[in-house]
């Protein structure tokens, strides 16, 4: 009787094990989903890594593709520079009062003087 239970238990455990012992392969991250299938993302290197499949797979299985070599620029080309503008301090703002004779401000002042 014990042997039958032991064999039945071993069969149950064996049926739960994957056949062939496949190893997990890394999934390549995409910047954005590419089709109407089910896509999920995880944050990898502070970027959204989109992949097709179930949610919450291990982050160790997700990889960004290797960087492509930078495109060679022509010798005469000047690289594009990005200008950054410092944000204005709102405390430095000054009110601008237009000198338009038909503005609300001028009509209001004229009304106040006449009354």
pLDDT per residue as tens digits for the range 23-60: 568 888 888 888 778 888 888 888 898 888 788 888 88
Q: Does residue 91 form part of some domain?
A: no
Q: Does residue 53 form part of some domain?
A: yes
Closest listed residue to residue 65, CA positions, set 80, 83, 44: 44
Q: Does residue 85 form part of some domain?
A: no
Q: Does residue 77 form part of some domain?
A: no
The residue written with tokens 């997700």 in the block is: 62
Q: What percent of the chain has pLDDT over 90?
A: 0
pLDDT attached to residue 113: 67
Domain that holds residue 48: 36-65
Q: Does residue 56 form part of some domain?
A: yes
pTM of the entire predicted model: 0.39
Q: Does residue 44 form part of some domain?
A: yes
Q: Does residue 59 form part of some domain?
A: yes
For the chain, the domain total comes to 1
């Amino acid at each position: 009787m014990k042997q039958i239970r032991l064999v039945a238990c071993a069969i149950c455990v064996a049926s739960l094990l994957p056949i062939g012992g496949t190893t997990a392969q890394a999934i390549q991250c995409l910047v954005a989903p590419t089709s109407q299938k089910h896509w999920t993302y995880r944050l990898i290197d502070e970027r959204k890594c989109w992949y097709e499949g179930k949610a919450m797979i291990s982050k160790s299985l997700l990889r960004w593709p290797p960087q492509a070599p930078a495109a060679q620029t022509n010798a005469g080309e000047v690289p594009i520079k990005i200008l950054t503008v410092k944000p204005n301090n709102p405390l430095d703002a000054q009110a601008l009062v237009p000198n338009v004779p038909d503005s609300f401000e001028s009509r209001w002042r004229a009304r106040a003087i006449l009354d």
